[in-house]
Structure 1
């Protein structure tokens, strides 16, 4: 049995109560809780306590927790600062979009659990998506190719960034000793000398720098591929 789709964005935002918090204050406080404690640490009760307000008063603005998540999800997408696609090249717009999206996800790792689960229908998310769409249109992509180019770029960002977040969180939770991990990897990769050599070189480098370079390398390959599609 299907049910009617609902979204906080389908109705006008209610004005703040004279004795209550505004919706913007509630959303900012929710983002702070999520950044500190993750998705499992957010509840209407905890949010109400943080704001020194009863949890029931929050329902003046949202019908349920999912609607609150819609608001915070769009709030963080508003951190993206994208160029006007009519004033620069499509590659420059796509590159800024990709790097900005990656930084956003790394700043707010809880978003990885909402990607693909919660529709991004707020004005910030839709505005960013439209900017990227227009840049691909100006580049020469047409029809569904614009959507395919969009999907290709965002899939690359999600595909390389979400595992990075998951690994970082796993390492924080397990607190493995770094030297013991390297010794284990060296032992298990002993039969693959070339691979072991590459692992040693990567492990000896700055992790954040390696990840940033890997992202830039992959992004360049994706953009080169899209550029080739325009030529053929």
Structure 2
């Protein structure tokens, strides 16, 4: 500790005792503070989360909040851990590693849609909180039937989460544009379609014209998401077969 009482180096919030061994019970818990911060972020976005705002939400003074959460980065870590608690794990994996990972991916996408600020905080830095460790332990358990080394399994999880984060970020961005536009999504799409058809009719982009003309039409985002996950799993499954 420094002379000012601050730690001399960075601390992991989970290594810091939530309550001293002696003395009165704290007025608030980390779970309460995390829940308050999540409420603010869900309602106002991540930029709405400040120590002052969360202190007001929990009913304590801003300076008092620092006694529980020394840094804003710690607050973010508490928030991420709080939403990761929403994963529902069965008592044991099914034995079908692909099916179990796909079920986890669907849950990840659902969590990010319920809490649109989560993609901004996706980072390995927050990967070792209590609930994140539960997630990793279950995911590694589910992958016991995948015949690759543990490092490759970690790469698979990282790739899946990276793709889900990018995919959901695009979904959320599209939804936000639709929400803030004075026109309906159908009007916006009609205007853009008319524009691109005029451009392509000039013949300067024949490959684009052919691609759009032969395209699948209306896109089912759930099906596209499922195919993206399947293609990643296909690649790692093929690696396992080559190594066997």
Higher mean C-alpha displacement, 17-26 vs 50-59: 17-26
2:55 to 42, 48, 56: 48
Residue matched to 1:215: 225
Shift of 1:223: 2.1
Matched residues in 2 for 1:85 and 1:72: separation?
27
Residue matched to 1:228: 238
Give the root-mean-square deviation of aligned CA atoms.
2.6
Per the normalisation by structure 1, the TM-score is 0.84
2:13 to 3, 8, 29: 8
Structure-2 change in CA distance of 1:82 and 1:175 (3 Å) = farther
Shift of 1:58: 1.4
Q: Matched residue pairs, number?
A: 223
Deviations 1:45-72 (A, max 9, x none): 1222222221222122110221111111
Shift of 1:142: 1.4
Shift of 1:163: 1.6
Residue matched to 2:148: 141
CA contact (8 A) 1:34 1:110 kept: yes
2:100 to 93, 97, 122: 93
SS in structure 1 at match of 2:157: helix
Q: Which runs of 4+ in 1 moved over 6 A?
A: none
Residue matched to 2:206: none
Shift of 1:169: 2.4
Residue matched to 1:195: 212
Shift of 1:214: 1.4
Matched residues in 1 for 2:51 and 2:126: separation?
21
Per the normalisation by structure 2, the TM-score is 0.80
Higher mean C-alpha displacement, 125-134 vs 80-89: 80-89
SS in structure 1 at match of 2:128: coil
Shift of 1:88: 2.7
Tell me, which stretches of 5 or more residues in structure 1 are unaligned?
Answer: none
Matched residues in 2 for 1:17 and 1:46: separation?
25
Structure-2 change in CA distance of 1:19 and 1:115 (3 Å) = closer
